[in-house]
Amino acid sequence: MINIVAKAIHHTMEFGDFDIYVVQDDLKNEHVILTRGDIKKGQDILCRVSSECLPGTALFSAECDCKQEIEYSLKLIAKEDKGIFIYLRQEGRGHGLALKIRALANKNKGMDTFEAVECMGLPADAREYSIVKKIIDYFQIKSIRCLCNNPDKIRALRSEGIIISEIINIPVKATPYSLKHLCAKKKHGHVIKIED
């Protein structure tokens, strides 16, 4: 079971209105859910699971694709007028903000996004998705169409017992700063269509 600690209507500049929820996990970390339309007990519900990226989404980073992925996902959910967007507060692939910025310093030296973390003795990805299963169960969603480019995330969500009926890849535009990052992701199995 999840602990919903707040709920309101969220008016967006580009994508219309959503219901916004704040949910606490067992460690009292707060995560955000946006829903649109009647998703309760739904099947094949459009879903995006994003992890926090302060540099990319709030500080205009040219080095990552997080903001583009969020915008694409919310646009699709708005177009269908139904879906769920789950924003997990696990910055830096689960390592935290300070380590993410240390990894950025390593990227500044020429390392790719995976090497930059692994050289510090950390796993490339430490994210955890058990809360997502609890959120899906809370809304009694039977299956999702997952907006995702990362096969490891798909495997992790399925290992939690989430039924994914379709994977929808998200196209991204590269910048001179993000191209190496995107190519490293592709090398590690991510399915990314890089647009001109």
Q: Is 17 a catalytic residue?
A: no
| Position 139, amino acid | F
| Position 172, amino acid | V
Q: What angle do CA 109, 110, 116 make, to 5 degrees?
A: 85
DSSP 157: H
Q: Which of 36, 48, 102, 125 is catalytic?
A: 125
Q: What angle do CA 52, 95, 87 make, to 5 degrees?
A: 20
Contact 72, 34 (CB under 8 A): no
Please name the residue that has the structure tokens 């995107």: 182
Contact 165, 66 (CB under 8 A): no
DSSP 65: S
Nearest to 113 by CA among 104, 123, 126: 104
Q: Is 127 a catalytic residue?
A: yes
Q: Which of 48, 102, 127, 145 is catalytic?
A: 127
Return the active site residues.
125, 127
